[in-house]
Amino acid sequence: MLVGDEDRLRPLLPAGLDLPIHDCKGVVPMDAPRPASAVRGDPEPSVTAAMRLLREGKACAAVSCGPTGATMAAAFFVLGRLDGVDRPAISLLVPRTDGGRLVLLDLGANVDSRPQHLVQFAAMGQAFAKVLGLGEEPRIGLLSNGEEPGKGDERVREAGARLAALPLPFVGNVEPAAAFRGACEVLVCDGFVGNIMLKTVEATAEVVTTILREEVLRQASAKAGAWLLRPALRRVRERTDYASQGGALLLGVRGVVVVGHGRSDASAVHSAVRYAARCAADGLVERVAAAMGTLPTVADDDLAAPPALQ
Amino acid sequence: MLVGDEDRLRPLLPAGLDLPIHDCKGVVPMDAPRPASAVRGDPEPSVTAAMRLLREGKACAAVSCGPTGATMAAAFFVLGRLDGVDRPAISLLVPRTDGGRLVLLDLGANVDSRPQHLVQFAAMGQAFAKVLGLGEEPRIGLLSNGEEPGKGDERVREAGARLAALPLPFVGNVEPAAAFRGACEVLVCDGFVGNIMLKTVEATAEVVTTILREEVLRQASAKAGAWLLRPALRRVRERTDYASQGGALLLGVRGVVVVGHGRSDASAVHSAVRYAARCAADGLVERVAAAMGTLPTVADDDLAAPPALQ
């Protein structure tokens, strides 16, 4: 079902493709300065309407390529959080070099997370990894600047101590290279750090492929070089351009919500919809909720802080 | 001058190379659990002895490929900090895709930096960029998860507000890709974030070159593929394997101190020594000290926190 302005959407549908359209005139623009307020606007914005359809059981998942902050805010306010979740987290499934895959979270839903939030991300991420079939007991790693338990900033050291005390398969601090090679199936971090890590992967892949293209073309004829490199570079893009992979999942809200990149092409939107459908069919939210139910309830002043929606 | 156990060093010197050796029996092992205490050990460790030679004017710079924490601690305690510097920072010079270069700091000397520390890193980094000739007025960027002033975590937002109020060429928040493309000459961040960013660059470069090698060899004959890729991959390594570039500079202490990677080869050590010599010849420390002198003195409770030496 498409959610948006029917007058604008209908003419864009190819002949013969008769998708239902939920008409809705409101929009949160990409550059909305305060998306958390914008999602409560009148007329109701499409992202809010989509979440309402989800809450009312008229849809089983929601996909949006609009502003991430707006999607998060709409999901937060309309769907609500799972019990035991203080802050939803954005997670992404990333290929490892050993052929496995890695759930990375949080990638930017939160900044200034407290240690207890990282513990919740770990539990949610692990449940998600199980749904995805990443092993019987997907291992949890904590992104850090060194492997020793004393490494990390205050937040990471405290989160590590709490995770080690829980009945979760926690492998301790993990550095980026070890995570990509297969040290864990779930890599947990604060959203500021995770977002920078993600953007550094994308930026580095761009830098490296640019250098390689220049160097190979310097050696080979342009034609031979292009023949050799085109499929290889496409493969690198597939494996490092996470934006093209169909979207990130917002974990911790009462519904399957996939956040697509604003520059998604048709193929990325297609992947995002398939991804959302699979998560819904696999009972993702129920399984994440069950995992959160096994976490001991934490009563500490950490949780007094309101979530920061950017 | 070599600083270490003469009985072990002398036999390693090639015939005809008669370098002076400052005999010294103490060592901080690579896995010392508490390097900050180890550098005060008896017999005096070589890294501490090297800093003492620097302080006494018997050397103009120090280079160590031993444990970073020990080098930092020895520099901190023996040389002392520059006026106005609360925490020294590790900086690295990184190539940009536009042909320019970028000073990145802090890369792991500190975790849990306060906003005012980022301001000091900015001033030190800018002075360093001037010494390196990266433009008349090298621009300062603040590493963040988005360009808008409201982006970033609490530390970044506060540091951004303070930097904007100072007479420094501050361009605001900068994302990784923009920094690599040339948005600034100095990129400032907390050491935990910077260390993760650096390690993500190295890990991603490894992942991308592995994928490319596999894909190109699948298409071309092994021989043709190797012919094409070997120089290209070497160039990528040169530009992304920062460890091989000769070392990182410890900014903010009263002397030129270069921190080499523990797995440095002969060529990396050679680069590190040349780099240290050039910084000393260019009056780096004096120029950084002068830049710090122009910063307004800040009296806030930020500065009560002792530096965290890991």
**pLDDT at residue number B214:** 81
Residue B65 CA, chain-centre distance (Å), reads 12
* Contact predicate B129/B135, CB 8 Å: yes
pLDDT per residue as tens digits for the range A104-131? 999 998 899 999 999 999 999 999 999 8
Quote the CA–CA distance of B49 and B61 in Å, as a whole number.
12
Q: Is A128 on the interface with B (CB under 8 A)?
A: no
* Contact predicate B111/B191, CB 8 Å: yes
The total number of residues shown for chain B amounts to 310
User: Which residues from B are below 8 Å from A225, CB to CB?
Assistant: 228
Query: What is the pLDDT averaged over residues A250-273?
Result: 91
How many H helices and E strands in chain A? 11, 10
* Contact predicate B57/B267, CB 8 Å: no
Closest CA in chain A for residue B176: A200
Report A:82-101 residues touching B (Cβ under 8 A): 97
Quote the CA–CA distance of B26 and A120 in Å, as a whole number.
46
Which among A286, A190, A209, A205 is positioned nearest to A245, based on CA atoms?
Answer: A205
- The CA distance from A193 to the nearest CA of chain B, in Å, is 6
User: Which residues from B are below 8 Å from A310, CB to CB?
Assistant: 146, 150-151
Phi, psi angle pair for A2, to nearest 5°: -95, 140
Query: Could you tell me the mean pLDDT of each successive run of 10 residues in chain B, 310 residues long?
Result: 96 92 93 88 95 97 93 96 94 89 93 96 94 92 92 96 95 97 97 96 87 78 72 77 75 95 86 92 92 66 44
Quote the CA–CA distance of A218 and A225 in Å, as a whole number.
9
**pLDDT at residue number A211:** 82
pLDDT at A296 over 70: no
pLDDT at A52 over 90: yes
The CB density around residue B294, as the number of other CB atoms within 10 Å, is 12
Which among B180, B164, B170 is positioned nearest to B126, based on CA atoms?
Answer: B170
**pLDDT at residue number A310:** 41
What's the N-to-C CA distance of chain A in angstroms? 28
pLDDT per residue as tens digits for the range B169-194? 999 999 999 999 999 999 999 999 99
Quote the CA–CA distance of B241 and A121 in Å, as a whole number.
32
Confirm whether A219 is domain-assigned: no
Q: What is the DSSP-derived secondary structure letter of residue B273? A: H
Query: Which has more pLDDT, A221 or A172?
Result: A172
Quote the CA–CA distance of A213 and A208 in Å, as a whole number.
9
Which among B25, B45, B22 is positioned nearest to B34, based on CA atoms?
Answer: B45
**pLDDT at residue number A244:** 59
pLDDT at A301 over 50: no
Number of domains in chain B: 1
Letter string b/e over residues A174-195, b meaning 16 or more CB atoms within 10 A of that residue's CB: bbbbbbbbebbbbbbbbbbbbb
Q: Is A226 on the interface with B (CB under 8 A)?
A: no
Q: What is the DSSP-derived secondary structure letter of residue B78? A: I
Amino acid sitting at position B200? T
Quote the CA–CA distance of A180 and B209 in Å, as a whole number.
13
Confirm whether B195 is domain-assigned: yes
Q: Hey, are the CB atoms on A229 and B216 less than 8 Å from each other?
A: yes
Confirm whether A136 is domain-assigned: yes
Structure tokens at A74: 């709409």
Q: What is the mean pLDDT of chain A?
A: 88
Which among A56, A90, A52, A57 is positioned nearest to A74, based on CA atoms?
Answer: A52
- Furthest C-alpha separation in chain A: 66
Which among B41, B6, B77, B9 is positioned nearest to B257, based on CA atoms?
Answer: B77
**pLDDT at residue number A302:** 44
Q: State whether ipTM is beyond 0.90.
A: no
Question: A104 pairs with which residues across the strands?
Answer: A92, A187
Letter string b/e over residues B269-280, b meaning 16 or more CB atoms within 10 A of that residue's CB: bebbbebbeebb
3-class secondary-structure state, position A121: helix
- Furthest C-alpha separation in chain B: 66
Rounded (10°) angle between helices B154-164 and B115-131: 60
Which among B97, B72, B95, B94 is positioned nearest to B85, based on CA atoms?
Answer: B72
Cis peptide, bond prior to residue A112, ω within 30 of zero? no
Q: Is A228 on the interface with B (CB under 8 A)?
A: yes
Confirm whether B40 is domain-assigned: no
The CB density around residue B125, as the number of other CB atoms within 10 Å, is 28
Q: What is the CATH number of the domain that holds B282?
A: 3.40.718.10
Quote the CA–CA distance of B251 and B101 in Å, as a whole number.
18
User: Which residues from B are below 8 Å from A100, CB to CB?
Assistant: none
Cβ contacts below 8 Å, chain A against chain B, sum to 169
| Domain carrying residue A61 | 2-203+231-304
Residues 6+ apart with CB under 8 A from B280: B60, B61, B256
Q: What is the DSSP-derived secondary structure letter of residue A236? A: H
Quote the CA–CA distance of B288 and B72 in Å, as a whole number.
18
**pLDDT at residue number B242:** 64
Report A:45-84 residues touching B (Cβ under 8 A): none
Q: What is the dihedral of CA B293, B137, B254, B294, to 10 degrees?
A: 0
**pLDDT at residue number B35:** 85
Q: What is the dihedral of CA B38, B40, B46, B51, to 10 degrees?
A: 120
Q: Is B112 on the interface with A (CB under 8 A)?
A: yes
Confirm whether A213 is domain-assigned: no
**pLDDT at residue number A241:** 67
**pLDDT at residue number A78:** 97
pLDDT at A151 over 50: yes
**pLDDT at residue number B127:** 92
Residue B187 CA, chain-centre distance (Å), reads 12
Confirm whether B116 is domain-assigned: yes
Quote the CA–CA distance of B291 and B127 in Å, as a whole number.
6
Q: Hey, are the CB atoms on B231 and A239 less than 8 Å from each other?
A: no
Confirm whether B55 is domain-assigned: no
pLDDT at A63 over 50: yes
Structure tokens at A142: 């904590």
Q: Is A115 on the interface with B (CB under 8 A)?
A: no
**pLDDT at residue number B241:** 67
